[in-house]
Structure 1
Amino acid sequence: MKTPGKIGTFELFLLLWIYVTSVILLALPRLYAQDGLSALWLIPIISYIYLLPLLWIIVKLRDYFPDKILVEIPGLLFGKWAVILIGWPLTFYILYITAIALREFGDIVNYTILPETPLWALLLPFMLSVTYGAYKGPEAISRANVLLLPLTLGAFLFLIFSSFSQAEIIFLAPIFGPGLDELAIHAFFRLSIFIEVAILMALYPNIRSAKSLRFVAFYGMAFNVFFISLALLAYGLNFPFASTPHVGSPLYQLIRNINWGRFLQNLESLFVFTTVIMMIVKTSLSLYVATITFAKTVDAPFYQPYVFPLALLTYLYAFMPTDYLTAMKWEYEILRPWGLGLIFALALLLLLVAMWRKKKKRKIKLVRKREQTSL
């Protein structure tokens, strides 16, 4: 397979930001409001503490296999059969969770601004853009992401800080919601919100150095947690938590609430535009990861021939849930929790085996050296 290009630290940092933070644009505030009540914005911060061991696994695993993606590592340790056994389910898991997010995004746009447009017609041009991005690969996606920064990060910050003009501090009382003990429990069970960080294990060959990965993994995820908490804080200051479970797109309603007089109102169009850009970048990267995983599984020399058929499968999978609430339930109650547990259990197993083999080789070399010395 063609040698992959390298992604700079800054580009990778921003790529992880848009890939992880995009989850806040969909149904996430509903779940945090159910768990954390008035302290919904504290849950991501606590979850980050639980996330640290998983980040360590990601960083440490690359030290042993810097030029391999996650699905290739079992083949080096156990044989080709392990790649096939893991690669096929992993490919279709990535495709399906991408399709679910695609369906949620399509339903939100459908319900809010284009109610007369059929969902299939709404998602089709979106998927064409995503397919092109996945075909070009992560280097092109990361560079496009940097160029679009004013329309993503800039617009995101502008909209969030604008929403503070309508803030009601009373909505944050009590400050710890159900209590710190309950928040700690909910934060642990919502750890799957950050499953997107596993994308780094599919980009090992594209990462320039171990130092770059450490910086992006730990500081990049801290940056993501800050942004998610900031958005949740803005939402919590504008709406009582009790009304959130009944809101289809919480952040869309938050942006609709912005009103600075005749000169600054009706900013929904900017929010939708920003959301579309962020979701195109995220879905393009997800489709690329699914494609490269499949290509490595079948030992293909190039991944590009598989982009279109897997994009078609993703498009079709998006119509499997009957509605928005079903898609949300499948994602947050089944796909994310099970996916996080299985992917990181696999990564931990591979790391432990790699460490054991390295230690074993070191002992063998030491024994041989002693034997040569005694002779």
Structure 2
Amino acid sequence: MEQPRQITVIQAAIILISSIIGVGVLALSLFGVRAADSAAPLVTILGIFLGTVGLWLLTKLGMRFPRQSIVQYSEELIGKWTARVFSVLIIAFFSIITALASREFGEVVVTSVMTKTPLEVTVIVMLILAAISSRADMTTFTYFHHFYFPIIVFPLVLIVVLSLKNAQMVYLMPVWGNEPSGMFAGTLTMAALFQGSFIITLVIPAMRRPERAMIASFVGMVISGGLYLLIVVATVGVFGAEEVKNLVWPTLELAKTTSLPANILERLDGAFLAVWVTAVFTTLLSSYYSAIRFLMQLFRLQDHKLFSFFLIPFIYVIAMLPQNLLAMYDFIEVVGRWGLVFTIGYPSVLLIVALIRKKNQGSQGDPSVAKPN
């Protein structure tokens, strides 16, 4: 059964933004500084560029096959069984990043807010919330993101802009950093923070005008990437690279040092955490929703609700595997970098095959789908 085409270009961009901006906000600057010291903004820019390449590949594929997701059109391009192997790996990957997102959420909550609450409780509560919300259809899923979008973006922009008044340009020098040898690994880590954009492969088949999906992708990446870059510049500019290395969650510390004009609020960390929890929910919802929708398509089912709670036990076990906070972030970096094989490498191969074989849905005798230029 074909899903209704109700998502607009603006809604598609909003889904991308709220899917990308999530748990990575807290440790974003730390990843960049560890890789290249004061060159963290430059590493972020390179990561944004690499993430944009992956999103462009997925969007081009989606425009060639505007009624199918990557699980479906990959079988036409590289064969049923080869494609299914990669589809299983993609499902496993999004299950793992859902687990790590829920674990990071739990660590922050039990450390900063509910110090007497067991970690396991916060993790399982967030997973259950995502599972219940994921039972919705694509239209309701879109409304989730549309509703929470202003709650996430505008307060974050306000906090970052206000914090810039405390920044010192000397902390951002030299632009190339003192140890540029770590820039490549840092770029991969930064690009991994944009893997939430993979949701575009599910969004395009539900768009009213899929031929305009590239506009939504561009807007989504510019806004989310621009906000990430601002966060890194503000954090490094306020604390300096060496001090950021000693902070577990630099963005949270940045919010603590920021106040509203006239001291209406002397610290914004409480408001920031509320915004961050919302951002975590939308990101985790997108990754969990992707996993169960891909499962539905892999097994040729008509409804994904069957898998809504099926994955929770597996994801919970994965979430609790890291022994501590440092092990968790090491795990996140490794998984994120290897995940680029599925979010950038695999779509590259599919697009090349589609171009060589001149495959698109327009060539399959469907007059209702225009061929992309």
Q: TM above 0.5, one fold?
A: yes
SS of 2:194's equivalent?
Answer: helix
Q: How does 1:21-60 map to 2 (within 5 A)?
A: 21-60=21-60
Per-residue CA deviation, residues 275-299 of structure 1 (Å, 9 max, x unaligned), is: 1111111111111100011111111
User: Which amino acid in structure 2 is aligned with residue 203 of structure 1?
Assistant: V
The structure having more radius of gyration, on CA atoms, is 1
Tell me by how many angstroms 1:249 deviates: 1.2
Is the contact made by 2:169 and 2:237 (CA closer than 8 Å) also made in structure 1? yes
Greater mean deviation of Cα atoms: 86-95 or 288-297? 86-95
| Aligned: 1:344 with 2:311 | no
For the residues of structure 2 that align with 1:284 and 1:359, how far apart are their CA atoms?
32
SS of 1:67's equivalent?
Answer: coil
| Aligned: 1:321 with 2:322 | yes
For the residues of structure 2 that align with 1:24 and 1:325, how far apart are their CA atoms?
15
Greater mean deviation of Cα atoms: 171-180 or 155-164? 171-180
Tell me by how many angstroms 1:182 deviates: 6.9
Q: How does 1:264-303 map to 2 (within 5 A)?
A: 264-303=265-304
Unmatched segments (≥5 aa) in structure 1? 363-375
| Aligned: 1:86 with 2:50 | no
Tell me by how many angstroms 1:2 deviates: 5.2
Tell me by how many angstroms 1:76 deviates: 2.2
Per-residue CA deviation, residues 319-346 of structure 1 (Å, 9 max, x unaligned), is: 111112112111212x112111234332
User: Which amino acid in structure 1 is aligned with residue 113 of structure 2?
Assistant: I
Tell me by how many angstroms 1:14 deviates: 1.5
In structure 2, the partner of 1:369 is none
SS of 1:26's equivalent?
Answer: helix
For the residues of structure 2 that align with 1:179 and 1:4, how far apart are their CA atoms?
51
Tell me by how many angstroms 1:113 deviates: 1.8
Tell me by how many angstroms 1:190 deviates: 3.9
Is the contact made by 1:29 and 1:250 (CA closer than 8 Å) also made in structure 2? yes
Q: TM-score, normalised by structure 1?
A: 0.87
More helix by share: 1
Unmatched segments (≥5 aa) in structure 2? 363-373
In structure 2, the partner of 1:241 is 241
Tell me by how many angstroms 1:17 deviates: 1.1
Q: Check 1:238–1:52 CA distance in 2 against 1; reply closer, same or farther (3 A cut).
A: closer
Q: How does 1:142-221 map to 2 (within 5 A)?
A: 142-178=142-178, 186-187=186-187, 190-221=190-221
Tell me by how many angstroms 1:73 deviates: 1.8
For the residues of structure 1 that align with 2:328 and 2:277, how far apart are their CA atoms?
19
For the residues of structure 1 that align with 2:252 and 2:56, how far apart are their CA atoms?
35
Per-residue CA deviation, residues 55-89 of structure 1 (Å, 9 max, x unaligned), is: 43223212331111111123223443234322222
User: Which amino acid in structure 1 is aligned with residue 158 of structure 2?
Assistant: F
How many matched pairs? 361
For the residues of structure 2 that align with 1:184 and 1:90, how far apart are their CA atoms?
24
Q: Check 1:145–1:60 CA distance in 2 against 1; reply closer, same or farther (3 A cut).
A: closer
Q: TM-score, normalised by structure 2?
A: 0.87
For the residues of structure 2 that align with 1:348 and 1:231, how far apart are their CA atoms?
30
Tell me by how many angstroms 1:12 deviates: 1.4
Over aligned residues, Cα RMSD in angstroms?
2.7
User: Which amino acid in structure 2 is aligned with residue 357 of structure 1?
Assistant: R
SS of 2:21's equivalent?
Answer: helix
